[in-house]
Amino acid sequence: MRIYALGVYLFLYIPIGVIAVFSFNAGRYAAQLQGFSTQWYGKALSNPFVMEALQTSATVAAASAVLATIAGTLAALALQGVSGRPRMIFDALLYIAVMVPGIVIGISTLIALVTLFDWINPVVASLWPVADAAPQFHLGTGSLIAAHGLFAMALVVIIVRARVAGMDRSLIEASADLGATPFGTFRQVTLPQIFPAILAGFLLSFTFSFDDFIIAFFVAGSETTLPIYVFSSIRRGVTPEINAIGTMVLAVSLLILIVAQTILQRGRRAQPA
Amino acid sequence: MTGDTESSIAELRGATKRFGDVVAARNLNLSIRRGEFLSFLGPSGCGKTTALRMLAGFEAPTDGDIYLDGQRVNDVPAHQRPVNMVFQHYALFPHLTVAENISYGLRQRRPKPPAAEVAAAVARALETVRLPDFGPRRIWEMSGGQQQRVALARAIINEPKLLLLDEPMAALDKKLRHDMQIELQTLQRQLGITFVLVTHDQEEALSMSDRICIMRDGEIVQTGSPRDLYDRPKNRYVADFVGKSNFFAGRVESLEGETAKLTGPGGLSFIGYAGDGVGAGQPGLASLRPEQISLTRGTDGVPVSVVNRIFLGEHTEYLVRNPDLGQFLILASRQAEAGEGNLEPGETGSVRWRDGAALILKND
């Protein structure tokens, strides 16, 4: 049994380990190790295409995480007041949003956005004073933010709601009893209580968007995110530069996940037993 | 219409609370006197907490009215009522320090009181609950008893017209609970604030309250001083809930004024104060407190055999048996037993009780 478990873990982590090891390879072929070097990191970071893709990814991740966190937190709080059948429907929709494969979200978002743009662009153009100067909606950073934000929102709702549900209701009553207005209670009691979950939700949303390839592939239009760049480079063969990028993305993602987990854990400990 | 503001600080007038089909409180009528220590006593689900929550403003009555200091407050939300509560599990804010918890109420006031004033008030409150220098501590560093004092300080700093206590002692161990009961009573006298306590613990209610309001199934059964309730219970429920009692079924022979005579099992007669609805010729119930019965080795009384004996220090509790009366309890004080010697289980003796010692209640 232990050997079996070991086999599973090796199968899972050996490819990742190989990428990390080979990113420090001095030679230029992926197949043979030729001593230690960090040159590929330097190369990756000085590659203008990589840097541009990184910037797009970071922008999209930050913007979608902010949107998802705000909308998701508000939704989680509002859902506290919903019960019975409507609550069941909302819950089901939330979990479906998280469980639906990325490719389905990608394709459906693409179809929805393209249909929407086809409909809205002529309307805007006909209303614009100078027809040629009318803004055109098209796929790009905006659609990436929208698609990632929507998906991540479901994550945030689930994380924040767990915390809201675990919160002692009597704290809110105690605050009201002591003369705090409903907004005062929200600001002074509810928000500090659920803040760890909000922060964790934000970090997870950021990582999700930053790492996502499938949804981005469909809705990115002419934009290139880091995962899309990596995918298109691989078609020209795996270079140590790609290994270096992969390792960096992995390190950043792991770091953020660990931070998010720590925040959630600590938040849980601070709650009264 | 306003309340009698001279003597009553709060009033429930026909207050009823329904949750869907469930009636949590039915037609509660109660006037809470200024400066008194009043307890709502009853088993869980009797509506005592609902009554408290209606006073606090967490529940609005479905019917009837709530008055606070002469004002009808049905529609006044909790945060605008001059009432504070000590919650069952204290509900202290875990993200704030002890001092921040205590000053929370003052910091909600507009205009904001000056920081120095708040700090001085917090120091005084901490002094009052005997936790000086605990201000900077975190809540989770405090023991259960200390947390309760913090909850108390957080409530009294606002000088509320009513201090509501929702089973505040439930989470404390027995020794601490006893200390806290004495402390709470002392504090209430010292501050002159009206205290309203909810409890299911009859000893707690008896030892602390000026008046007790006994509830059952959402209704008030009887309100009175602990002594009234003990000596003059209206019915079996109250007699059973307040203190221990032995009940013997029989027939009410006569009723003269407040005194009734009941003939019980084996033709034994019981004479005493008549409760609600007792009528001559009707079936009735004699309630006899264990301490009203004396047990001797002699034979000039009702013969009993001792089934069990529990030594309680100052008192000894006997469970005895008589063919007609069945098993019942006797509480014998050490003094009364002196010279007699203890009766051991299996030994026989005889019991007697004075005329007037019993209570004659309706058998329901």
For A184, the closest of B92, B108, B158 (CB atoms) is: B108
Give counts: helices (H), strands (E), chain A: 12, 0
- Provide the shortest C-alpha distance from residue B56 to chain A (in Å): 7
- B227 and B254 assigned to the same domain: no
Q: Within a domain: residue B76?
A: yes
- B31 and B91 assigned to the same domain: yes
In terms of C-beta density within 10 A (0-12 exposed, 13-18 middle, 19 or more buried), how is residue B40 classed? Answer: buried
- Residue A177 and residue B104: Cβ atoms within 8 Å? no
- Provide the shortest C-alpha distance from residue A191 to chain B (in Å): 11
Residue of B nearest to A169 (CA): B91
ipTM score assigned to the predicted complex:
0.83
The list of chain B residues with pLDDT below 50 reads 1-3
Tell me whether B91 touches chain A (CB under 8 Å): yes
Whether the pTM exceeds 0.95: the reply is no
- B63 and B210 assigned to the same domain: yes
Where residue B203 sits, what CATH number does that domain have?
Answer: 3.40.50.300
In terms of C-beta density within 10 A (0-12 exposed, 13-18 middle, 19 or more buried), how is residue B43 classed? Answer: exposed
- B82 and B199 assigned to the same domain: yes
Cβ pair A77, A90 in contact under 8 A:
no
Residue B328 pLDDT: 94
From B231, B262, B291, give the residue that closes a domain.
Answer: B231
List chain A pLDDT tens, one digit each, 273 residues.
788 989 998 888 888 888 888 888 777 766 677 778 888 888 888 888 889 999 999 999 999 999 999 999 999 999 988 888 998 999 899 888 888 888 898 899 899 989 998 898 888 888 888 767 777 788 888 889 999 998 899 999 999 998 888 888 899 999 999 999 999 999 999 999 999 899 999 999 999 999 899 999 998 888 899 999 988 888 877 778 888 888 888 898 899 889 888 887 776 655 443
For A174, the closest of B57, B91, B140 (CB atoms) is: B91
Q: Which domain does B277 fall in, by range?
A: 246-362
For A168, the closest of B77, B91, B158 (CB atoms) is: B91
Domain count, chain B: 2
- B157 and B18 assigned to the same domain: yes
- B36 and B154 assigned to the same domain: yes
Tell me whether B131 touches chain A (CB under 8 Å): no
Q: Within a domain: residue B3?
A: no
Residue B334 pLDDT: 76
Q: Within a domain: residue B237?
A: no
Tell me whether A179 touches chain B (CB under 8 Å): yes
- Give the CA distances from residue B259 to residues A154, B154, B248, B291, in Å, rounded to whole numbers and listed in that order: 73, 50, 17, 20
Report chain B residues whose CB lies below 8 A from the CB of A191.
none
Cβ pair A80, A164 in contact under 8 A:
yes
Q: Within a domain: residue B241?
A: no
Q: How is chain B split among helix, strand and coil, in percent rounded to 5?
A: 25, 35, 35
Cβ pair A218, A109 in contact under 8 A:
yes
Report chain B residues whose CB lies below 8 A from the CB of A174.
85, 87, 91-93
Whole-angstrom Cα distance, residue B201 to residue A173? 24
- B153 and B223 assigned to the same domain: yes
- B224 and B250 assigned to the same domain: no
Report chain B residues whose CB lies below 8 A from the CB of A184.
79, 108
Q: Within a domain: residue B2?
A: no
Residue of B nearest to A168 (CA): B91
For B85, the closest of A168, A177, A185 (CB atoms) is: A177
- B292 and B145 assigned to the same domain: no
Interface of B with A in 187-246 (CB under 8 A): none
Residue B339 pLDDT: 57
Cβ pair A210, A55 in contact under 8 A:
no
Tell me whether A190 touches chain B (CB under 8 Å): no
- B119 and B41 assigned to the same domain: yes
Tell me whether B144 touches chain A (CB under 8 Å): no
Tell me whether B79 touches chain A (CB under 8 Å): yes
- B312 and B168 assigned to the same domain: no
Q: How many CB pairs under 8 A join A and B?
A: 70
Tell me whether A184 touches chain B (CB under 8 Å): yes
- Residue A170 and residue B84: Cβ atoms within 8 Å? no
Residue B217 pLDDT: 94
- Residue A175 and residue B88: Cβ atoms within 8 Å? no
Q: Within a domain: residue B202?
A: yes
For B79, the closest of A168, A170, A181 (CB atoms) is: A181
- Domain boundary assignment for chain A: 2-270
Q: Within a domain: residue B236?
A: no
- B155 and B33 assigned to the same domain: yes
What class is the A2-270 domain? mainly alpha
Q: Is B64 helix (H, G, I), strand (E, B) or coil?
A: strand
Tell me whether B159 touches chain A (CB under 8 Å): no
Tell me whether A176 touches chain B (CB under 8 Å): yes
